Amino acid sequence: MERIVFLERNTIEAHFRRPDFDHEWVEYAETTAEQVIDRARDATIIISNKLSLGESQLSNARDVKLIAIAATGSDCVDLNYCQRRGIAVCNVRGYAVNAVPEHVLMMILALRRNLFAYRADVQARLWNQSKQFCLLTHELHDIRNSTLGIVGYGSIGRGMARLAESVGMRVLISEHKHAMNIREGRTCFEEILRQSDVLTLHCPLKDETRDLIGLAEFQMMKWTALLINTARGALVDDAALIDALQTGLIAGAGLDALREEPPCHGSPLLDLNLPNLIITPHVAWASREAVQTLADQVIDNIEAFVSGRPQNLLA
């Protein structure tokens, strides 16, 4: 009988049907890093989300044979260790193909229309003092006919391209940074930086993508451009972003991810009070529809593995 241990149940607000095979289901609302070793000890299948799982956490979990990540990103799991141990790892894919692009579009529109600057002006009673029927204190821009550069062209990147094209944006798909060859349909990374009116990140966090966007990249971008990051906080150099926003290297940024989540020790980005910076608490993925799709796929992955037909494997 399988013993399924769900370490972070409260991170997924959706209904999880029980797998269609003989099993014991154990779930914990939250699990701290210190509790992982004990709670994973007797598991044969672990469901995790953002907890770090590697040798130090799993060395005593001798019976575990599958880690089912309730997310797409796998940077929290040591895939090399799991491969050496013969532990299969799977993730969920494509569940947020509408949710994340819609969140990105929301940020683009809010920044291009200076939504928060205008909201602040209205609250400060500046409209009351206007000599005209309207208050034109900030620039307003259409997004139609502007260029969107997409870095990371998985299911969410493709969903972003479809949504952007539907509102009249020109879409460019980035080739990998430092790539020697440019694939058909892609544009070199540096050219994406130079041409984009909006740059949106949808790539995984790996050694080669850490600090993907730094000062040199901001210097290549248009001063009127926006950066949107709904992927992983460490894709962007925080100090460089702050400098770019404060000196006008770029026009604005929308972030749904920070380096530390939750930011228990603070973040210099959270100390900024700028109308052209929007920060949301890693919720772009979390529409009700997307989260239920995620939960269903987690169980689909587990059932497929137990039946001998594993899917969405990473290791």
CATH code (residue 76): 3.40.50.720
Sheet holding 88-90, edge to edge: 23-27, 2-6, 45-48, 66-69, 88-90
Catalytic residue chosen out of the listed positions 39, 112, 202, 232? 232
Same structural domain, 224 and 150: yes
* Predicted local confidence at residue 123, as pLDDT: 97
Same structural domain, 164 and 215: yes
Same structural domain, 197 and 119: yes
* Predicted local confidence at residue 216, as pLDDT: 98
Same structural domain, 55 and 110: no
Same structural domain, 105 and 235: yes
* Predicted local confidence at residue 100, as pLDDT: 98
pLDDT, tens digit (0-9, with 9 covering 90-100), for 60-80: 999 999 999 999 999 999 999
Residue 34: active-site member = no
| In a domain? residue 314 | no
| In a domain? residue 313 | no
Residue 176: active-site member = no
Helices (H), the chain: 36-40, 55-58, 79-85, 99-112, 115-123, 155-166, 189-195, 215-220, 238-247, 288-306
Q: Which of 207, 229, 309 is nearest to 277 (CA)?
A: 229
Domain count, the chain: 2
Catalytic residue chosen out of the listed positions 24, 139, 261, 289? 261
Same structural domain, 120 and 269: yes
Which residues of the chain fall short of a pLDDT of 70? none
Same structural domain, 184 and 151: yes
Strand 277-279 relative to strand 226-229, pairing: unpaired
Token pair belonging to 203: 């790539």
> How many CA atoms, within 13 angstroms, populate the side-chain half-sphere of residue 15?
2
Report the alpha-carbon distance of residue 225 to residue 193 in Å, rounded: 9
Same structural domain, 140 and 213: yes
| In a domain? residue 111 | yes
CB contact at 8 A, 189 and 237 = no
| In a domain? residue 126 | yes
* Predicted local confidence at residue 315, as pLDDT: 84
Residue 282: active-site member = yes
Same structural domain, 262 and 130: yes
Same structural domain, 47 and 136: no
pTM above 0.75, yes or no: yes
| In a domain? residue 167 | yes
- For 64, the domain range is 2-95+289-306
CB contact at 8 A, 48 and 8 = yes
| In a domain? residue 315 | no
**Any idea which residue has 């779930």 for tokens?**
27
* Predicted local confidence at residue 166, as pLDDT: 98
Same structural domain, 147 and 81: no
| In a domain? residue 311 | no
| In a domain? residue 284 | no
Catalytic residue chosen out of the listed positions 9, 85, 138, 282? 282
Same structural domain, 185 and 212: yes
